[in-house]
Amino acid sequence: MDDLVAKRQKIIARAAGLVATMCAYTLFVYRRVGRTPPITYGPLAERDRIRMDNLRFIFHNDDRHCVEQLCMRRAPFFHLCTLLRTRHLLRDTIHSSVEEQVAIFFQEVLYAIGELRGEMIQPPSNDVHQADRRQLSSVML
Give the pLDDT band (50/70/90) at residue 127. Answer: very low
Domain, as residue range, for 51: 46-140
Give the pLDDT band (50/70/90) at residue 1. Answer: low
Q: Is residue 136 part of a domain?
A: yes
Same domain assignment for residues 103 and 56 = yes
Answer yes or no: is pLDDT of 76 > 50: yes
User: Domains in the chain: how many in total?
Assistant: 2
Integer Cα distance of 51 and 62 in angstroms: 18
Integer Cα distance of 58 and 67 in angstroms: 9
Stretch 122-126: mean pLDDT: 52
Q: What is the pLDDT of residues 79-114, one digit of tens each?
A: 988 888 888 888 887 777 788 888 888 877 777 777
Model pTM score: 0.51
Answer yes or no: is pLDDT of 30 > 70: yes
Q: Does residue 124 or residue 104 have the better pLDDT?
A: 104
**How many CB atoms are located within 10 Å of the residue 42 CB?**
6
Integer Cα distance of 108 and 105 in angstroms: 5
Same domain assignment for residues 112 and 51 = yes
Q: Does residue 19 or residue 42 have the better pLDDT?
A: 19
Q: Any idea what DSSP says for residue 87? A: T
Q: Is residue 41 part of a domain?
A: no
Same domain assignment for residues 114 and 135 = yes
Same domain assignment for residues 92 and 119 = yes
Answer yes or no: is pLDDT of 129 > 60: no
Answer yes or no: is pLDDT of 126 > 70: no
Residue-level pLDDT at 90: 84
Q: Is residue 111 part of a domain?
A: yes
Same domain assignment for residues 17 and 57 = no
